[in-house]
Chains A and B, each alone.
Chain A
Amino acid sequence: MLPLKKDKKEEEEGGGNPFNNLEKSSVLQEARTFNETPINPRKCGHILTKVLYIINQGESIGQTEATEAFFAMTKLFQSKDPILRRLVYLGIKEMSKIAQDVIIVTSSLMKDMTGKEDQFRGPAIRALCSVTDHSMLQSIERYMKQAIVDKVPGVSSAALVSALHLGKDSQEVIKRWVNEAQEAVNSDNVMVQFHALGLLYYIRKTDKLAVNKLVSKFSKHTLKSPYAYCLLIRIASKLIEEEDAGSESPMFDFIESCLRHKSEMVIYEAAHAIVQLKNTTAKDLAPAVSVLQLFCSSPKPTLRFAAVRTLNKVAIKHPAAVTACSLDLENLQTDVNRSIATLAITTLLKTGNESSVDRHMKQISSFMSEISDEFKIVVVQAIRSVCVKFPRKHNVLMTYLAQMLRDEGTFDYKREIVDCIIVTIEENPEAKEVGLAHLCEFIEDCEHTVLATKILHLLGKEGPRTPTPSKYIRFIYNRVILENAAVRAAAVSAIAKFGAHCDDLLDSCIVLLERCQLDTDDEVRDRATFYVNVLKQQQKSLSSAFILNGLQVSVVGLEWALHQYTLEPSETEFDMKSVPLATQPLMEQEVRDVPGEAPSARPAQEKVAASRQDVYQEQLAQVPELANLGLLFKSSQPMEVTESETEYYIQCVKHTFSNYLVFQFDCTNTLNDQLLEKVTVEIEPAEGFEVTKYIPCPSLPYNKPGTTYTLVRLPAEPTQVTGTFACTLKFLVKDCDPQTGEPDDEGYDDEYVLEDVEVSVADHVQRVMKPNFAASWEEVGPENELEDTYSLSTMSTIEEAIKNIVQYIGLQPCERSDKVPEGKSSHTLYLAGVFRGGHDALVRAKLALDSSGVTMQLTVRSTDPSVSEVLATAVA
Chain B
Amino acid sequence: MDGGLLEPSLYSIKAIAILDNDGNRLLAKYYDDTFPNTKEQRNFEKNVFNKTHRANAEIVMFEGLTCVYKSNVDLFFYVVGSSMENELILSSVLNAFYDSTSQILRKNVEKRALLDNLDAVFLAADELCDGGIILEADSNSIVQKVAIRNDDIPLGEQTMAQITSKYGQQVSAATDRVMYHSFNPVSYQNGQAQSR
Contacts and interface: CB of A to CB of B under 8 A. Distances in A.
Do the two chains bind?
yes
B179 interface: no
A119 interface: yes
A597 B5 CA distance: 12
Nearest to A17: B115
A778 interface: no
A45 B86 contact: no
A241 B10 contact: no
Given A42-B196, A157-B136, A374-B61, A594 B2 contact: yes
B5 A234 contact: yes
A62 to B, nearest CB: 15
Contacts of B64: 374, 597-600
Nearest to B92: A265
B162 interface: no
B51 A265 contact: no
Interface string B73-87: 000000000011011
Most chain A C-beta atoms within 10 Å of own C-beta, residue among B5, B25, B42, B65: B5
A191 B93 CA distance: 13
Contacts of B111: 16-17
A545 interface: no
A823 interface: no
A24 to B, nearest CB: 13
Interface residues of A, number: 87
A146 to B, nearest CB: 19
B88 A238 contact: no
Interface in B12-67: 20, 25, 27-29, 38, 41-42, 51, 55, 57-65
Interface in B101-131: 111-112, 115, 118-120, 122-123, 126-127, 130-131
B159 interface: no
B135 to A, nearest CB: 6
Contacts of B122: 49, 52, 56, 87, 90
Interface string A561-604: 00000000000000000000000000000010110111111100
A18 B150 contact: no
A596 B83 contact: yes
B86 A337 contact: no
A241 B130 contact: no
Interface in B139-164: 145-146, 148-150, 152
B2 A593 contact: yes
B9 to A, nearest CB: 7
B187 interface: no
Interface string A131-175: 000000000000000000000001001100110110000000000
Interface in A601-657: 601-602, 605
Contacts, number: 204
Nearest to B88: A265
B91 interface: yes
B30 to A, nearest CB: 9
Given A126-B130, A198-B9, A336-B57, A230 B89 contact: yes
Nearest to A162: B130
Contact of A90 (B58, B123, B189): B123
Given A231-B10, A372-B60, A372-B61, A58 B41 contact: yes
Contact of A83 (B42, B62, B119, B192): B119
Contacts of B146: 86
B5 A273 contact: yes
B118 A53 contact: yes
Given A14-B185, A17-B115, A302 B38 contact: no
B5 A237 contact: yes
B150 to A, nearest CB: 6
Contacts of B118: 19, 49, 53
Given A83-B119, A272-B86, A337 B5 contact: no
A835 interface: no
A339 interface: yes
A93 B55 CA distance: 36
A234 B10 contact: no
A591 B1 contact: yes
A237 B6 CA distance: 10
A821 interface: no
B3 A597 contact: yes
Interface residues of B, number: 71
A338 interface: yes
A587 B9 CA distance: 38
A301 B68 CA distance: 10
For the residues of B in contact with A, the DSSP-based class is mixed
B172 to A, nearest CB: 16
Contacts of A164: 10, 133
Contacts of B58: 300-302, 305, 337
Contact of A302 (B7, B8, B59, B112): B59
Nearest to B174: A15
B38 A82 contact: no
A201 to B, nearest CB: 6
A303 B193 CA distance: 44
B131 A161 contact: yes
Contacts of B86: 230, 265, 268-269, 272, 306
Contacts of B27: 56
A81 interface: yes
B20 to A, nearest CB: 8
A42 B89 contact: no
A599 B83 CA distance: 11
B166 interface: no
A746 interface: no
A11 B133 contact: no
Contacts of A82: 148, 152
Interface in A197-242: 198, 201-202, 205, 227, 230-231, 234-235, 237-238, 241
Contacts of B6: 234
A83 B148 contact: yes
Contacts of A195: 10, 133
A305 B87 CA distance: 8
A11 to B, nearest CB: 7
A465 B138 CA distance: 68
B180 to A, nearest CB: 11
Contact of B89 (A18, A56, A265): A265
A205 B131 CA distance: 21
Given A231-B10, A276-B4, A264 B88 contact: yes
A300 B20 CA distance: 24
Which of B10, B38, B42, B91: most chain A Cβ within 10 A?
B10
A597 B57 contact: no
Interface string A475-491: 00000000000000000
Contact of B57 (A265, A303, A339, A602): A339
Contacts of B3: 597, 601
A237 B115 CA distance: 44
15 contacts: A11-B181, A58-B41, A83-B148, A164-B133, A191-B136, A198-B10, A227-B137, A238-B7, A269-B89, A276-B4, A302-B59, A302-B90, A306-B87, A309-B87, A597-B64
Interface of B: 1-10, 20, 25, 27-29, 38, 41-42, 51, 55, 57-65, 68, 83-84, 86-92, 111-112, 115, 118-120, 122-123, 126-127, 130-131, 133-138, 145-146, 148-150, 152, 177, 181, 185, 189, 192-194, 196
Given A165-B130, A305-B59, A597-B84, 17 more contacts: A52-B119, A56-B28, A90-B122, A123-B126, A154-B145, A164-B133, A194-B134, A201-B8, A265-B88, A273-B5, A302-B59, A305-B58, A336-B57, A596-B83, A597-B2, A598-B64, A605-B1
Closest 4 CB pairs of A and B: A598-B64, A58-B38, A337-B57, A198-B10
Interface of A: 11, 14-19, 41-43, 45-46, 48-49, 52-53, 56-58, 60, 81-83, 86-87, 89-90, 93, 119, 122-123, 126, 154, 157-158, 161-162, 164-165, 191, 194-195, 198, 201-202, 205, 227, 230-231, 234-235, 237-238, 241, 264-265, 268-269, 272-273, 276, 300-303, 305-306, 309, 336-340, 372, 374-375, 591, 593-594, 596-602, 605
